Amino acid sequence: MKCGVRFCGGCNPKYDRGAAYEFVRQGLQEEIQFEYAQEDTIYDILLIFDGCTNCCASYDAYMTRRGIVKIWQAEDLDKTIQILKDFE
Amino acid sequence: MLMTGAQYIESLRKLKTRVYLFGEEVKNWVDHPMIRPSIDCVAVTYDLAQDPQYTDLMTAKSILNSETINRFCNIHQSTDDLRKKVKMQRLLGQKTASCFQRCVGMDSFNAVYSTTFEVDKKYGTTYHQNFLKYLKFVQEKDLVVDGAMTDPKGDRGLAPSKQKDPDLFLRIVERRPDGIVVRGSKAHQTGCINSHEHLIMPTMALGEDDKDYAVSFACPTDADGIYMIYGRQSCDTRKLEPGADVDLGNHKFGGQEALVVFDNVFIPNDRIFLCGEYDFANMLVERFAGYHRQSYGGCKVGVGDVIIGAAALAADYNGASKAAHIKDKLIEMTHLNETLYCCGIACSAEGYPTAAGNYQIDLLLANVCKQNVTRFPYEIVRLAEDIAGGLMVTMPSERDFRSDLKVGKKGETIGDICNKYFAGSPTCTTEERMRVLRFLENICLGSAAVGYRTESMHGAGSPQAQRIMIARQGNIEGKKALAKAILDIK
């Protein structure tokens, strides 16, 4: 499964989005291929790291077959990994 | 094409910019220790645009061709664009704790874009086409542009054309078939030396007598006849001290202002965006000022975030963080800082499309934003000074902290004594405590105070300018009608 990763702009994040991405990537690297989302690629899933509840990351320009997963707080990291596993 | 920070810095070296400081021309201004921190600050606007963690704020799609551009070159196409602009500025304030200088260009692009459209509609001129061509150039090359509005103004009681010295406002001195010649200067120009181009605008509403002052144009920073005289900042020569680091407060980044002189500079026709249409000077000024007053709801908030963090660290390092009054002061700093952000977001969310199609902020709310910015940073730094304590302005120099000169009866060095007597909480080293206190000293009353305090007061217009706009936009008659309706007064 191929997963495109997108971040919000990070104006005032409540958690370290880069570290969160690394945590998810390490947890799922056997099952899922991750890359920073490109507009000309169709992904199975788009994973969006929003820094806060505002969830303002734009993603209209990106294509996905099976949907979008958003995370906006560090407490949801384990849940996010499980959601991505369940997509498989 | 998006440049990297390093490419931006190298691009400045190719310019023949004339810079004067302390009575002499500065040949290598890119590496001058007083100027380089401000260049490094602008470079962050380039580097963050390359980082996937920040591109959603730092980049946008061009209105011209949908290519990805740096948001500082963007024409705002929605209220989402306006909100992201403010968020981008908060981000940069957090990353630099400084004035990062590139906003004035972006604000002038948007004001000139919409104003030229309306001038052309009334007069059949081609200024909007000229500006689109210029904008394409700026976006493709990813340039920094100094949006230049403020004239020195001389006697504030007199119109430009009535000044004893007509050069005190920049004006057209000659009209030729292929362009115009301009003379005058623009004062307090933030980041002008670090810019590739200048975009000039008139500074106030003008009448028919002042039509030669109703001029807007763009020119390269190193055009023939342009030179800059650097503005001094508090404690600026600390940057010249050999090996200066801790004593600078913020040793990485800084701001910059200069006087930009136009000594009979020729501007070709295709770079002219207003030329005598004095009735549109006020529109251009109001729109630029509106955008720039919105900007402060982002940039100063980001710097405020860092000040709050530094004040909290100072409390930790002083061993005072558990005190109730310290916590309350940090709460108050946060409240004030987020209030400014509220204003920046509000004027963005209430934005609307202009006749040209780009989005303008809500003028009343943008002026409320800036009016608050003229006050709250002063209270924020007052609280930071309160928390930090007097040591922030009485500490010995970093050279003393590092000195191995023996002074004590048991052979203690100056460095030993400084580290002994200025130790704080065991959770930090004395140097860490020094660094935080020097940072606060710098932002409260050193070179960074220029960008956080006085710029908050006067940048984008002095407090009275916002009060005039609030009065105009406040709709008192409408509010009287509301009261009358409830009170059954006809």
Residue-wise pLDDT for B51-60, tens only, equals 999 999 999 9
Catalytic positions of B are: 99, 103, 190, 257, 292, 296, 299, 455
| Strand pairing report for B19-21 and B59-61 | unpaired
pLDDT per position as a tens digit, B104-131: 999 999 999 999 999 999 999 999 999 9
Could you tell me if A19 lies within 8 Å of chain B, comparing CB atoms? Answer: no
CB contact under 8 A, A5 and B55: no
CB of A8 within 8 Å of any CB in chain B? yes
Q: Phi-psi region for residue B249, left (φ > 0), alpha (ψ -120 to 50) or beta?
A: left
Q: Is the pLDDT of residue A88 over 80?
A: no
pLDDT at B1: 84
Query: How far apart are the CA of A17 and the nearest CA of chain B, in angstroms?
Result: 8
Half-sphere exposure of B265 (CA within 13 A, CB side): 26
Using the beta-carbon criterion (under 8 Å), do A10 and B52 form an inter-chain contact?
Answer: no
- Whether residues A56 and B83 touch (CB distance < 8 A) is answered with yes
Average pLDDT over residues B88-99: 98
State residue B113's pLDDT score.
98
For residues B194-203, give the mean pLDDT.
98
CATH numbers and ranges of domains, chain B: 5-282 (2.40.110.10), 286-481 (1.20.140.10)
Nearest by CB to B58, from A6, A9, A57: name it.
A9
Q: What percent of chain B has pLDDT over 90?
A: 100
Asked if B94 and A56 come within 8 Å (Cβ–Cβ), the reply is: no
CB contact under 8 A, A9 and B80: no
In angstroms, the CA B407 to CA B416 distance is: 10
Of B43, B71, B41, the C-alpha closest to B55 is B71
Range of the domain at A44: 2-87
Residue pairs spanning A and B at CB distance below 8 A: 45
Instruction: Please judge whether A56 and B87 are an interchain contact, meaning their C-beta atoms are less than 8 angstroms apart.
Output: yes
Q: How confident is the model at residue B219 (pLDDT cuts 50, 70, 90)?
A: very high
Q: What is the pTM assigned to this prediction? A: 0.95
Mean pLDDT of B154-172: 96
State pLDDT tens for residues B329-369. 999 999 999 999 999 999 999 999 999 999 999 999 999 99
Contacts of A5 in chain B (CB under 8 A): 52
Specify the number of domains making up chain A.
1
Please tell me if residue A67 touches chain B, with a CB cutoff of 8 Å: no
**pLDDT at residue B390 above 90?**
yes
Task: Report, as an integer, the average pLDDT of B206-224.
Answer: 97
Question: Is A41 in CB contact (< 8 Å) with chain B?
Answer: no
On whether any CB of chain A is under 8 Å from the CB of B305, the answer is yes
Q: Are B110 and B77 in contact (CB under 8 A)?
A: no
Token readout for B429 is 């080293």
For Cα atoms B352, B369, B463, give the angle at the middle one, nearest 5 degrees: 120
CA–CA dist B19, A61 (Å, integer): 44
pLDDT mean across residues, chain B: 97
The pLDDT value recorded for residue A12 is 87
Q: What is the mean pLDDT of residues B277-295?
A: 97
